[in-house]
Structure 1
Amino acid sequence: MADLNSLGYKSIIDMETDEAIDTLRQIRLSRRIPDKKPKKETTKQTTKKISEKIDSDMAAELLNLLKGEKNEQDNR
């Protein structure tokens, strides 16, 4: 059965500083587990189209609202 000494890996203690840092960086990156993020599902939202036609009374009421005048019904 194999043990750590028989694998032939060089010990970090025996490595030079730059080589040891690089080896530790590779170990850290290889062990990194990606974060599990929930998948975003896009839903298409549609707005209801206005199918009403504006008659003259509604147009007059809208113009009064835009002008800032109160409607006759609001004065009651």
Structure 2
Amino acid sequence: MNRRPESERSDWTDLDLLTRDEAAERLREEIAEIEPRLAELPADDAERALLEARLGALRAVHDDLAVPDGTSEP
């Protein structure tokens, strides 16, 4: 148990958090990096299957972060 008063406790965990906009931007950047790589890979390539799965997951998370007015698009 931390014996310091709440006002003296470190809030370091808050310092490492991204805003929703920052997280969405990073996801857009990674999506933009993966898409051209996918275009270069043959359809039966194992790496392609992994990248497609990753891209789907990134897009799903990005969609969850999208702001209500729809301005956060990949």
Please indicate, yes or no, whether the TM-score normalized by the shorter chain is above 0.5.
no
TM-score by length of 2: 0.27
TM-score by length of 1: 0.26
Using CA pairs under 8 Å that are at least 6 residues apart, name the structure with larger relative contact order, 1 or 2: 2
- From the CA coordinates, give the structure whose radius of gyration is larger: 1
Write 1 or 2 for the structure with the bigger share of helix: 2
